[in-house]
C-alpha cells in the first residue's frame, strides 16, 4: 500500500529560506539545501520549494538552488512559484526537480498543463489551487489568494486533471494560517471525483489535524510549513503518532 506522505514546504526568496526554522545547530538557517537535507534525514517523504522571489535575478538564483538541492537530497522534491512557460518547467527539470507545481499561470493559460504534461509526463506536473468559499461555493484565487476568479474549485480541478496534471495541491485560503485544521469534507469530496493524488495544505495546528485529513479527508499527503519550521511537530513524532492510528507511513 502506498504510504501517506508528509511534505515540509520551504519558501525561498533570492535563494534563501525566509521562514524561521528550529534547527538551532544548522550552520546557516537560511540555507535551503542544508535545511532540506535535514528534513529528509528526519523522515520527510518529499519536499516542496516555493520560489517567492519577484525579480528575474531571484528566479535565476532559484534555478541554481534547485540544482544544488538535487545534488544533495535523496528524496523527491517539487518546485513551484512563477512557472509560466514550458521553458520555465524545462529549466527546472534540467536542474533536477522531480516535479513542478503550477498555479496562477495555469489559470491564465490552462494549455500550459497540457504542454508540460505532454512533454514530460503527468508525474511531473502538480496543479496547485488556492480557493476560498464565496457565497457557499469554493472559488479559485490567484497570486497567493490576493485575486478572485470566477473559476469553481471542483470544475477547475477536474479540468486540470483531464489536461494531464498528475497531482492536486489544494490550499483552502479560509483555513491557511488559522491552525484550526483542514476542511476535511472538501478534501474527501475532491478525492471522490478526482483520479489523481491529493496533497492537503494549509490549516494544520496539531498532529490530529494531519491524521484527520489523511483519513476522513482521504488526502494522499499533507504539506505544512510553520508547524515544521517552528519545531512544534517534529516529523518523527508526527509519523509515529500517525502509525499508531494505523495510517500507513514510511518510518
Partner 1 sequence: MIAIVDYDAGNIRSVLNALRRVGASDYVLTASREMLRAASHVILPGVGDASVAMQSLRDKGLAGFIPTLKQPVLGICVGAQLMCESSEEGGARCMGIFPTKVRRFAPVPGLKIPHMGWNSLRLSSRAESRDLSSPLLSGLADGDYVYFVHSYYPEVCTQTIATSNHGIDFSAALASDNFFACQFHPEKSGAAGEQILKNFLAL
Binding to partner 1, residues 60-79 (CB under 8 A): 70-72, 74-76
Shortest spacing between CB 179 and partner 1, in angstroms? 27
CA-nearest of 19, 37, 77, 80 to 229 is 19
Binding to partner 1, residues 86-105 (CB under 8 A): 94, 96, 98
Shortest spacing between CB 143 and partner 1, in angstroms? 29
Shortest spacing between CB 216 and partner 1, in angstroms? 16
Distance (Å, whole) CA 188 – CA 72: 35
Binding to partner 1, residues 186-205 (CB under 8 A): 195-197
- Is 136 a binding residue for partner 1 by CB under 8 A? The answer is no
Read off the DSSP letter of residue 132.
Answer: E
Cβ contact 127:160 at 8 Å: yes
**Of these, 220, 223, 225, 228, which contacts partner 1 (CB under 8 A)?**
220
Binding to partner 1, residues 44-63 (CB under 8 A): 45
Shortest spacing between CB 146 and partner 1, in angstroms? 31
Distance (Å, whole) CA 218 – CA 220: 7
Read off the DSSP letter of residue 2.
Answer: P
Shortest spacing between CB 5 and partner 1, in angstroms? 6
Distance (Å, whole) CA 105 – CA 114: 13
Q: Beta strand 137-142 with 125-134: parallel, antiparallel or unpaired? A: antiparallel
Instruction: Assess whether 130 carries a catalytic annotation.
Output: yes
Instruction: Assess whether 11 carries a catalytic annotation.
Output: yes
- End-to-end Cα separation, the chain, in angstroms: 14
Cβ contact 33:95 at 8 Å: no
- Is 24 a binding residue for partner 1 by CB under 8 A? The answer is no
- By beta-carbon proximity to partner 1, the closer residue of 44 and 211 is 44
- Is 244 a binding residue for partner 1 by CB under 8 A? The answer is no
Query: In whole angstroms, how far apart are CA 199 and each of 7, 79, 126, 147, 214?
Result: 9, 14, 10, 22, 9
Binding to partner 1, residues 107-126 (CB under 8 A): 121-123
- Is 167 a binding residue for partner 1 by CB under 8 A? The answer is yes
CA-based max dimension of the chain: 49
Q: State the catalytic residue, choosing from 31, 45, 88, 130.
A: 130
Question: Three cell numbers at 89?
Answer: 518547467
Interface residues with partner 1 (CB under 8 A)?
A: 1-3, 5, 40, 45, 70-72, 74-76, 94, 96, 98, 121-123, 166-167, 195-197, 220-221, 250
Active site residues: 11, 130
Amino acid at each position: 500500500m502506498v504510504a501517506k506522505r508528509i511534505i515540509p514546504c520551504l519558501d525561498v526568496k533570492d535563494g534563501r529560506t525566509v521562514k524561521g526554522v528550529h534547527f538551532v545547530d544548522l550552520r546557516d538557517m537560511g540555507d535551503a539545501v542544508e535545511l532540506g537535507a535535514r528534513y529528509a534525514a528526519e523522515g520527510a517523504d518529499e519536499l516542496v520549494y516555493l520560489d517567492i522571489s519577484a525579480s528575474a535575478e531571484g528566479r535565476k538564483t532559484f534555478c541554481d538552488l534547485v540544482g544544488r538541492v538535487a545534488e544533495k537530497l535523496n528524496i523527491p522534491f517539487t518546485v513551484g512559484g512563477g512557472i509560466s512557460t514550458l521553458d520555465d518547467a524545462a529549466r527546472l527539470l534540467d536542474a533536477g526537480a522531480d516535479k513542478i507545481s503550477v498555479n496562477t499561470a495555469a489559470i491564465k493559460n490552462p494549455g500550459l498543463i497540457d504542454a508540460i504534461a505532454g512533454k514530460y509526463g503527468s508525474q511531473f506536473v502538480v496543479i496547485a489551487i488556492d480557493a476560498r468559499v464565496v457565497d457557499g461555493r469554493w472559488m479559485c484565487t490567484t497570486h497567493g489568494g490576493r485575486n478572485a476568479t470566477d473559476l469553481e474549485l471542483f470544475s477547475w480541478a477536474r479540468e486540470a486533471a483531464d489536461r494531464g496534471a498528475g497531482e492536486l495541491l489544494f490550499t483552502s485560503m479560509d483555513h491557511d494560517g488559522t491552525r484550526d485544521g483542514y476542511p476535511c469534507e472538501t478534501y474527501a469530496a475532491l478525492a471522490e471525483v478526482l483520479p489523481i493524488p491529493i496533497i492537503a495544505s494549509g490549516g494544520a495546528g496539531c498532529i490530529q489535524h494531519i491524521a484527520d485529513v489523511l483519513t476522513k479527508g482521504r488526502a494522499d499527503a499533507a504539506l505544512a510549513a510553520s508547524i515544521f519550521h517552528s519545531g512544534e511537530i517534529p516529523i518523527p513524532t508526527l509519523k509515529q503518532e500517525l502509525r499508531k492510528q494505523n495510517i500507513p507511513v514510511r518510518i
